[in-house]
Structure 1
Amino acid sequence: MYTLDQVPVGDTVVVKKIHGEGRTRRRIMDMGITKGVSILVRKVAPLGDPIELNVRGYELSIRKDEAVSIEVE
């Protein structure tokens, strides 16, 4: 399994599945991260948290613990 927190800066990936349940999963989906969407990893903070993404034409920052639950290909 390959998750969003493992993607190198500058790479584009496609969301395969969102793991987790409840409010965390709903929050991720409300930000526009859904199955099949393309995500560009723009920047990663020096300590790895947060991660800056480009999703659906806008910039988004998420925490590493959220990125771990997003399976990509």
Structure 2
Amino acid sequence: MAISLRSMHKDQRGKIVAVTASGQLGRRIRDMGLVPGTEFRVVGRAPLKDPVALRMKGFTLTLRNNEADFITVEVED
């Protein structure tokens, strides 16, 4: 099932399917290692649900929800 990264919950695992952002934002997202095929786990969310913290490739990365909206993921069960 493909959903937006924004809608994932803590401790869910997934794999990036697509990054739909273009221009400078799209380049910035891809430069952070968020490219199709990347597997990750949501490790936390701030109290107001923004930002979201991801664990991938041996490091933790935080994203704002407006950035996560451009990332389509496949959730692992």
Is the pair's TM-score, using the shorter chain for normalization, greater than 0.5? Answer: yes
> What is the number of equivalent residue pairs in this alignment?
73
8 Å contact kept, 1:53–1:60 = yes
Runs of 4+ residues deviating >6 angstroms: none
The root-mean-square deviation of aligned C-alpha atoms, in Å, is 0.8
Structure 2 residue aligned with 1:18: 19
> In 1, distance between residues paired with 2:46 and 2:8?
13
> In 1, distance between residues paired with 2:40 and 2:53?
10
Find out whether 1:67 has 2:77 as its counterpart: no
Equivalent pairs: percent with the same residue?
Answer: 33
8 Å contact kept, 1:33–1:55 = no
Normalized against structure 1, the TM-score is what? 0.95
The CA deviation string for residues 27-52 of structure 1, in whole angstroms up to 9 with x for no partner, is 01000110000011000111111111
Structure 2 residue aligned with 1:29: 30
The CA deviation string for residues 6-31 of structure 1, in whole angstroms up to 9 with x for no partner, is 11100110000001200101001000
